[in-house]
Amino acid sequence: MLVYFDESYASKERLMLGALFVPSYNAKKALHRGLKEIKELKKFTDTKRHLKEIKYNNLTTKTKFEIAKAAADLFFSRGDCFFRACVVPYDEEQLDKVGRQQGVPRKLKEAMLYTNSFIKLIQNNIPDVRNAVLMMDQLTKANGDRFDSMIRERLGTGKNAIFRHMGYVDSSSERNHTIQICDLLLGAILNEHHPTQVKFKNDFREHVKGAVGVASLKEDYWGNQSHSKMCSVHPKYTIRYWGVPYKYLKV
């Protein structure tokens, strides 16, 4: 199992975490080859003929929108890969209450909130998987903070470790461009909460909603059913909204 992980947020109001789960080498190869062909067909290359990066934040032209749309269709056309996301509220007042007596700095508590949310996302979706590989965008906010050590302690050590390897990749590299699909799928959720004046970003959100078969990517729909129920109804693409995750922070 290969897991691509990304994050998204427009403000500290909420943090969005997304993971693209790719169960086999053949599935990874098919996604990589398919995205490469999509970009080549659109001549989406730089002056050195290297394939350029496609991400939600740069959906500013019709060509980029068409590439993003085709990338999403590539994902939805495969029965073996699936995407899971969680939306975590950020409440400074609640966070300040955690570990107040021990004098735990907020930066560490934020890292703990981020880490515990990620762990729940993984354990809720691949609880029985072992020896998986985790790939994260090297620009993630977690790169270099306590997230690394805490994740390795919880998910990457011992005989029952979910991950045998965890690393960061350059998402702009042709070699790793499959992680861009994860960014796009997560970007649709960000756009649902924070629509923009860029038509192509909003159109992409609507395209993803149509592919999933839902009218909303917000809590009004996704928060009313259990995780198992929503995964059975929407096996390819599922979102969880967590109310008060601060009770899971142990300092």
The values of phi and psi at residue 168, to 5°, are -110, 145
For 151, half-sphere exposure in the C-beta direction (CA atoms, 13 angstrom radius) is 29
| CA distances (Å), origin 197, targets 55, 121, 186 | 17, 31, 18
Would you list the domain boundaries of the chain? 2-248
Q: Determine the pLDDT at residue 78.
A: 92
The values of phi and psi at residue 167, to 5°, are -155, 170
One pLDDT digit (tens) per residue for the chain, 251 residues: 999 999 988 777 788 999 999 999 999 999 999 999 999 999 999 988 999 999 999 999 999 999 999 999 999 999 999 999 999 888 778 777 777 767 778 777 777 888 888 989 999 999 899 999 999 987 665 555 567 777 888 888 777 899 999 989 999 998 999 999 999 999 999 999 999 999 999 999 999 999 999 999 999 999 888 999 999 999 999 999 987 656 556 65
Report the predicted TM-score, pTM, of the whole model to 2 decimal places: 0.92
Which helix (DSSP H) or strand (DSSP E) does residue 14 occupy?
Answer: strand 14-22
| Structure token digits, residue 8 | 């998204």
Q: Determine the pLDDT at residue 135.
A: 94
**What whole-number distance in Å separates Cα of residue 207 and Cα of residue 166?**
32
| CA distances (Å), origin 32, targets 38, 180, 212 | 10, 10, 22
**Tokens 């090297």 identify what position?**
138
- Per CATH, the number for 2-248 is 3.30.420
Q: Determine the pLDDT at residue 156.
A: 85
